């Protein structure tokens, strides 16, 4: 039988190689690991000041350590220029960045270029910047971004990515950077501001290439997404690396809508795609007027993904698979929106509207969806 030893050995090697390839290709294999698995944790200091404690099993731990223990590798930190007392200012970002680094997490910085919430419906410039013309505003946004990035690096927490503005679908720093009318001049002004912010970010970065995310709110909307990126590219913004999308099913459509949009964006723009914000409800019990989700009718996939702990867990499983399936491996990953946001008002005097979207129950106990961050 010794004459069979050569072919048998070769066959065994081929079989082993095929097994390795199969493992790498199947869900959970090395080639399927999402590069970004994390969460926006910007409310953390406020929640802790309000007495909120979070537990992972029987252990009470800071949120960033719970994320890291379950495979998370990124946090997203928003920052406002001069917000109401206690909200996400520069000092809060510096503090959370130190904590994130100590937990072994990378940082996506998200300056909103406003004193408070910025989104497609509100992009008010900081009070200190109001009245500036385009030339002055370009200088201001460049220097502000540069200095912010440099301060984070100086304390030993250099950022790993930066998001220029927040949900900038209709522009930033209104009225100078508004594109609500869609004129060529408006897009040119927005491009000038975005390019200045990108330049400032990379000037402040201590080493290498700092990846840039441009973030809009249209995760399930192909037409809206194409219009924005076609227009901005045509206006001269080309030095960004990542398309960032908010995707909340109750606002942005079904998972099949998301899948279709990601396929189009990947093929059209040849950039990585990050779900920069997402969340899914784990309960409707106790939902009140003013909450973002109060009824299963708001959930396009409610039949297969009910508002239960198991349904929330399955939502993230399906989201991860959709990202793994993006053509040419352009699905970068996802960031859950504020998994520990349970009690803090979004604005002083308001009630929190999203406790049923957290990854912890009303007692601060981790839900099964916390494993969404696993490799």
Burial of 61 (0-12, 13-18, 19+ CB in 10 A): middle
As a whole number of angstroms, the distance between CA 147 and CA 322 comes to 37
Catalytic residue, from 47, 64, 186, 277: name it: 277
Could you tell me the CA-to-CA distances from 358 to 43, 167, 197 in Å, in that order? 12, 21, 32
Catalytic residue, from 167, 186, 313, 338: name it: 167
Burial of 300 (0-12, 13-18, 19+ CB in 10 A): middle
Could you tell me the CA-to-CA distances from 73 to 67, 269, 326, 338 in Å, in that order? 8, 26, 21, 15
167 is catalytic: yes
Alpha-helical runs (H) found in the chain: 5-25, 44-49, 63-69, 90-102, 134-154, 184-204, 222-234, 249-252, 255-269, 309-324
Question: If you write DSSP's letter for every residue of 208-222 in order, what string do you get?
Answer: S---EEEEES-TT-H
As a whole number of angstroms, the distance between CA 220 and CA 262 comes to 8
Closest by Cα among 162, 157, 233, 155 to 201: 162
Q: Give the 3-state secondary structure percentages of the chain, helix then strand then coil, rounded to 5.
A: 45, 15, 40
User: How many Å is the maximal CA-CA distance in the chain?
Assistant: 89
As a whole number of angstroms, the distance between CA 367 and CA 40 comes to 17
Strand-strand pairing, 36-40 and 74-79:
parallel
Catalytic residue numbers?
Answer: 167, 277
């Amino acid at each position: 039988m010794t004459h069979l030893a050569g072919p048998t050995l070769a066959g065994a090697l081929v079989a082993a190689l095929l097994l390795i390839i199969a493992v790498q290709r199947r869900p959970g294999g090395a080639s399927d690991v999402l590069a970004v698995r994390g969460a926006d944790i910007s409310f953390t200091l406020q929640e802790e000041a309000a007495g909120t404690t979070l537990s992972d099993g029987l252990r009470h731990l800071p949120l960033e350590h719970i994320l890291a223990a379950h495979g998370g590798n990124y946090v997203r930190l928003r920052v406002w220029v001069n917000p109401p007392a206690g909200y996400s200012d520069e000092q809060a970002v510096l503090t959370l960045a130190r904590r994130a680094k100590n937990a072994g997490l990378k940082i996506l910085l998200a300056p909103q270029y406003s004193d408070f919430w910025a989104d497609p419906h509100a992009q008010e410039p900081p009070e200190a910047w109001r009245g500036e013309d385009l030339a002055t505003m370009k200088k201001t946004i460049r220097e502000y971004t540069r200095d912010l990035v440099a301060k984070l690096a100086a304390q030993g927490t250099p950022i790993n990515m930066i998001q220029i503005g927040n949900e900038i679908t209709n522009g930033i720093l209104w009225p100078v950077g508004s594109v609500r009318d869609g004129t060529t001049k408006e897009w040119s002004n927005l491009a000038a501001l975005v390019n200045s912010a990108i330049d400032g970010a990379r000037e402040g970065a201590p080493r290498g290439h700092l990846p840039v995310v441009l973030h809009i709110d249209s995760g399930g909307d192909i037409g809206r997404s194409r219009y924005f990126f076609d227009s901005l590219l045509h206006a001269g913004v080309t030095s960004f690396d990542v398309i960032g999308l908010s995707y909340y099913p109750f606002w942005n459509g079904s998972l099949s809508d998301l899948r279709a949009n990601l396929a189009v964006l990947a093929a059209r723009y040849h950039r990585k795609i990050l779900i920069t914000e997402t969340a899914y409800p784990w309960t409707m019990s106790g939902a009140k007027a003013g909450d973002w989700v109060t009824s299963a009718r708001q959930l396009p996939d409610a039949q297969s993904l009910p508002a239960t702990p198991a349904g929330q867990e399955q939502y993230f499983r399906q989201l991860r698979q959709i990202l793994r399936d993006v053509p040419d491996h352009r699905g970068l990953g996802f960031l859950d929106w504020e998994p520990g946001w349970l009690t803090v008002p979004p604005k002083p005097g308001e009630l929190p509207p999203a406790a049923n979207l957290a990854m912890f129950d009303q007692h601060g106990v981790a839900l099964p969806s916390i494993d969404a961050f696993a490799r």
